[in-house]
A = this chain, B = another copy of it.
C-alpha cells in the first residue's frame, strides 16, 4: 500500500510518470454489465487535456485512452479495467538544468530525500499529468453512478487570485476556458494574460458538487464520506484547503443557524454540504477546494542543489500559470470515485434494498 491505489471496493491503481512511456490505471471492482467504450472516458479526458487554451500549459498531449481489459463486447465484465494513455509530447531536455536542483514549492526535495533517487523530467511521478488516469477512472464511476442512481457531478471555478467569480449558472461552465459559471470571462482573460506576461502564477478556488447522491453512503467513524472526500481533494496536486458545506463559515455560526432543519418537504438549508455524521443525507454534496499558485514559474528563485549548495532556479518548460483552471474536471472525478466506492461499500453491508423510511426530498431550496 504505497499510496497509489484509491478506494477500497472501487479500486483505482495509478501508474506512470510525466515523461515516461505511458501513464494509466487499473480499475478493480467495477460492477459487470455496464456499457463502456473508450469514448465514454475520452470525453472527460478531453475536458482536462492540456493545450486547449492559451491560459494552460501548451504541452500537446492527445491523451487518447486505450481500454486494455475488463470490457467484452462493449460491456464491463467485472474484471479489472486497465486504461493506457501513451505520453507523446515529452520535452525532457527542458529539465536538464534543474535535475540537480530543488525547485521551491515542488516535490523535488522531498522525493530526493525519500527515495534517494528522483526522476526530474517534468516532475516525474509528482506531475499533475498523473491526474489524467484519475479522470479516466472517474469517468467510469460517473457513468455507473448516473445510470444506477442518477447522480450528476459538476465543478466550477469560484475564485482566481483576488477575483471572486460570482455564480450565475452551471450552463456557462463548459463555454469558457476557466470553468467559470459566468457568461462574461473577459476580466479573467485579462487577469491571466497580465499574470502570464509577468512570469508569475496564481491560486484559485473551485467548487465541486454531486447531486442525486443516495442517502446512506459513508461509514460512521474514520471513513466518513466527508473524510474520504477531504482525502482525495487534499491529495490533488496543489490543493491546500478543503471545505464541506458551510466550511470555515461554520466557525462563526450558531447551532441554531448551522443545523439544517428537516421538514416533510426536505431539508431547509444545506450547511452540512450533504453529509451528516459522515453519511450522505440525500442533499447535494458541496465541496470547495483552495489551490495554490503553480510552483513552476520562470521568475528566478533561491534554492539548493543535491550537493547542498545555494543555487538560483528558473523553471522553464510548459506550465499552467494557474493550475486551478484545469482542476474542475479532476475534482469532479475525485468526488465521483469517492461516492462510487461508498456506494459499493454501502451495498456490501446493507444490500441493495432500501432501509428505513423513504428518503425525504433532498432540499426544498435547490
Those of A285-309 within 8 Å (CB) of chain B: 290-297, 299, 301-304, 306-309
Chain B neighbourhood of A248, CB < 8 A? 205, 240-241, 248, 290
Chain B neighbourhood of A232, CB < 8 A? 222, 227
- Of chain B, the residue at the smallest CB distance from A6 is B222
Q: A272 an interface residue at 8 Å Cβ cutoff? A: yes
The answer on a CB contact under 8 Å between B21 and A66 is yes
- Of chain B, the residue at the smallest CB distance from A300 is B256
Question: Contacting A69 at CB < 8 Å: which of B15, B258, B275, B360?
Answer: B15
Q: A335 an interface residue at 8 Å Cβ cutoff? A: no
Q: From residue A159, how far is it (CB to closest CB) to chain B in Å?
A: 6
The answer on a CB contact under 8 Å between B203 and A253 is yes
* Bound CA span A3–B221, Å: 6
Q: A57 an interface residue at 8 Å Cβ cutoff? A: no
* Bound CA span A245–B238, Å: 12
The answer on a CB contact under 8 Å between B33 and A114 is no
- Of chain B, the residue at the smallest CB distance from A107 is B277
- Of chain B, the residue at the smallest CB distance from A25 is B26
The answer on a CB contact under 8 Å between B220 and A224 is no
Q: A15-B69, A223-B3 are in contact. Are A352 and B349 (CB under 8 A)?
A: no
Question: Contacting A255 at CB < 8 Å: which of B24, B117, B124, B201?
Answer: B201
What would 8 more interface pairs be, CB under 8 Å, given A33-B117, A105-B271, A230-B231? A20-B69, A33-B116, A107-B278, A113-B359, A114-B350, A227-B231, A241-B250, A259-B301
